[in-house]
Structure 1
Amino acid sequence: MLYYIKADQFFYPYDVKKGGYLEIKDGKFGEWMAQVPENAKVVDYSGQWIAPGLVDTHIHGFGGADSQDAEVEGIMGTMSEGLLSAGVTSFFPTPLTDSHEGLLKCCEVIGEHYAEARGAKVRGIFFEGPFFTEEHKGAQNPKYMRDAKMWEIDDWQKAAHGMLKKVGLAPERDGSEDFIRKATQAGVKIALGHSNATYKEAVAGIEAGASIWIHTFNGMSGLTHKEPGMVGAILNTPNTYAELICDGHHVRPEAAEIIMKMKGADHVVLITDSMRAAGLPDGPYMLGEFEVEVRDGAAWLPTGRPAASILTLSTAVKNVVDWGIATPAEAVMMGSLTPAKSVGLDDVCGQIKTDYAADFIVLNQDMSLAATYLDGEKRYQA
């Protein structure tokens, strides 16, 4: 099937094309062109913008389903299909800290069934834990936290059929540097977070091969003039990727702006960190083994601190523009290409490029989501 998308703007990786038409052929992107052949089929989005489908590399759940449940229908059905309403066309199901056996079950389910996703495509698995520190445990159970061992990764990766793409850890834990070196050599991206590391310990983790920072500012040692900590290391390591939860609760816009100015849109990864309550009404929900209260646009622990969010990625992209801290092109990049690059997936998703799967979104000029396409087929209409 061949058709052409007409729109006011097309967000390419490092360029915004004004007007014209984008060719969609057999579910893949073709060329952008100023004019189309006579009698061509045109889908007219005049007054609107076309952007690559969003890529969420850190998301626990959506629409009542959660990665931790290790249920095929929940992940490949409810989450996958629901995420299309958030503009997400590729994602990493993200289990929390758990026992070896609990995480093994997640790997088995996702590794054996990821190709069955009915909506957004499962591109890999992110383990947010269990190699964290109790000082910054967040909404995770410290009884499962432990030092990182390669035998666990080997077990999980075998069960996941190679889909375990990203693992988080606290770099101050014993043996972390050796583990990071071995894990990265095995093709796993290492993300640092939920950590009380000193600046020196954090930078040592980066030098060993880690390249991503888990939800910057949240669950980590802060910056002071005497001990720059994890936050100082993020600001001072230019070739690393900083995740940000831009819901207005986890990080103030001013703090997010500092990270964006220091790192650039090509090294800031917008994530949701959302839990099963995303897309559902307020009320009590379970996050792993802990009960949280969803209200006022976030999920809250009984202590009054925010837990995993209920943010959608399309809202995060819109927020950073509304806050005046990013241009539309920068916001799109931080929600699509940069996440894909951070986990080595920019060869298959995260950008409009000839012969890539035609996974894209239609944006209104206020950055709100109008539609989501998967393999050239419209799957969600706002």
Structure 2
Amino acid sequence: MSITLADARVVTPEGVHEGWLTIEDGRITHVGQGSAPGAGLGLGGRYVVPGFVDIHNHGGAGGSFPTGDPDQASRAVDLHARHGTTTLMASLVTASLDDLAQSAASLADLCEDGLLAGIHFEGPYISAARCGAHNPALLREPSPGEFAALLKAGRGHVRMITIAAELPGALDTVREAVANGVIAALGHSDATYEQTISGIEAGGSVATHLYNAMPPLHHRAPGPIAALLQDERVTVELINDGVHLHPAMTRLAFEVAGPGRTALITDAMAAAGMGDGVYGLGAMTVNVADGVARLAEGGTIAGSTLTMDVAFRRAVREVGLSLSEASEIASLTPARVLGLADRLGSVSVGKRADLVVLTDDLEVSGVMRGGTWITEPR
């Protein structure tokens, strides 16, 4: 089946142009400027951007990935899809090794069904001093052998693990991850600048939510932020919700790392798309008030209620990025992190037709995945 989307403002890495695109068998076959050749679905000048790619997400719509429950996971995926996320990796939180293995095994089924793009272990190999909303009683020193068992449980669908570089066994575990095709992310860390550099040299290539859960920049002790921002081998995650980061800090990271090394994430938890109330994040109880999630005990920020369309919109309106820049860091760069940039992440011929239609106000009007409408343009 062939679909032509006409009268659109198409957002590509090169810029925004008035034009059209054609989709056949779930892939983009033509992208043109001006009037479409023949009849098509007219979008009335609305924007078309690539589907968003979220590489750090704990849930939504009341569902939580750390439970491993497939129904909860499906609810979360559906919620984020309606907000434009067409590729999503499920993030777990610190738990016992048995619970992590069970959750990974359950989520692996959903990966095989194409619902999820992979599994991310955010913990248990993180710093007690910077554990944020993770249960400190369940933290462990990194172990290549233990990690190998978690990998086995995930049946080839474990795509990322977050590790604090300063912990005993961390560098060997980073190397073990990379050797098995798993992205080693550095974060939830109290590391020095030098320890972080060692983690990068061992193979760390992603900064787990840069700035958050790590020491702040200091002129005599630059710590992990400077190391991760400055190294060309590292992609930095940013939670662009206006709660975790001031827009100036998001802009600073973008200006240093550029669009090719900056990835917007949500770090969303079960309350995304829901109202204020009490929710779970792993074994931790979270209170959500005015859309901000905090631990019931201690008040530490506990993930977010963010969706990627809001992060994209804020990148343009609050941070001052162009539509092409915002699109790149919401779609193409995270796709590159997952090794999927040849298949998705931009409105380009040959790529999967994962598309988001946006109004002038950058509100979601329609979402397509693989050439099929999740929500039709309205």
Name the structure 2 match of 1:51: 49
Partner of 2:111: 114
How far apart, in 1, do the equivalents of 2:226 and 2:167 lie?
19
1:99 to 91, 96, 101: 96
- Greater shift in the superposed pair: 360-369 or 206-215: 360-369
Q: Structure 2 unaligned runs (5+)?
A: none
Q: Which residue of 2 aligns with 1:29?
A: 28
8 Å Cα contact 2:16/2:324 also seen in 1: no
- Alignment partner of 1:86 is 2:80: no
Aligned match of 2:334: 339
2:194 aligned with 1:197: no
| Alignment partner, residue 308 of structure 1 | 303
Q: Does 1:213 align with 2:207?
A: yes
Contact (CA 8 Å) 2:331, 2:346: kept in 1 or not? yes
- The structural deviation recorded for 1:70 is 0.7
Supply the AA of the counterpart residue of 1:125: I
Do the aligned residues in 1 keep the contact of 2:57 with 2:269 (CA within 8 Å)? yes
Residue matched to 1:325: 320
Q: How far off is 1:188 after superposition?
A: 0.6
Could you tell me how far apart the structure 2 residues matched to 1:364 and 1:36 are?
Answer: 20
1:1-382 alignment, distance < 5 Å = 1-12=1-12, 14-34=13-33, 35-37=35-37, 40-75=38-73, 77-116=74-113, 121-302=115-296, 303-381=298-376
Question: In 1, distance between residues paired with 2:8 and 2:27?
Answer: 20
Provide the TM-score with structure 2 as the length reference: 0.95
* Per-residue deviation, residues 114-155 of structure 1 (Å, max 9, x unmatched): 2435xxx41111111110010001010112211222222322
CA-atom RMSD, angstroms?
1.5
Secondary structure of the residue aligned to 2:92 is coil
Q: Deviations over 1:248-294 (max 9, x none)?
A: 01111111111111111111110000100100011111121121211
Q: What count of residue pairs does the alignment treat as equivalent?
A: 375
Aligned counterparts of 1:46 and 1:153: Cα–Cα separation in 2? 51
Q: CA deviation at 1:163?
A: 0.5
User: What is the rounded CA distance, in whole Å, between the counterparts of 2:368 and 2:320 in structure 1?
Assistant: 28
Q: Which runs of 5+ in 1 are unaligned?
A: none
Q: Distance in 2 between matches of 1:71 and 1:133?
A: 27
| Higher alpha-carbon deviation: 289-298 or 199-208 | 289-298
Rounded Cα–Cα distance in structure 1 between residues aligned with 2:351 and 2:112:
17
Q: Report Cα offsets for 1:339-367 as digits up to 9, x if no partner.
A: 11122221232122323221110011222
Once residues 195 and 312 of structure 1 are traced to their aligned partners in structure 2, the CA distance between those partners, rounded to angstroms, is 25
Q: What is the identity, as a one-letter code, of the residue corresponding to 1:2?
A: S
Equivalent AA in structure 2 for residue 364 of structure 1: T
TM-score of the superposed pair, with normalisation by structure 1: 0.94
How far the C-alpha of 1:298 sits from its partner, in A, is 1.4
Q: State, as a whole percentage, how many aligned pairs show the same letter.
A: 31
CA distance in 2, matches of 1:36, 1:326: 29
Does the CA-based 8 Å contact 1:112-1:161 persist in structure 2? no
Following superposition, the deviation at residue 36 of structure 1 comes to 4.0
Q: Secondary structure at the match of 2:43?
A: strand
Report the CA distance between 1:41 and its aligned residue. 4.0
Instruction: Tell me, in whole angstroms, the C-alpha distance in 1 between the residues paired with 2:347 and 2:143.
Output: 39
Distance (Å, rounded) in 2 between the aligned partners of 1:73 and 1:177: 36
Determine if contact 2:147/2:173 at 8 Å carries over to the other structure: no
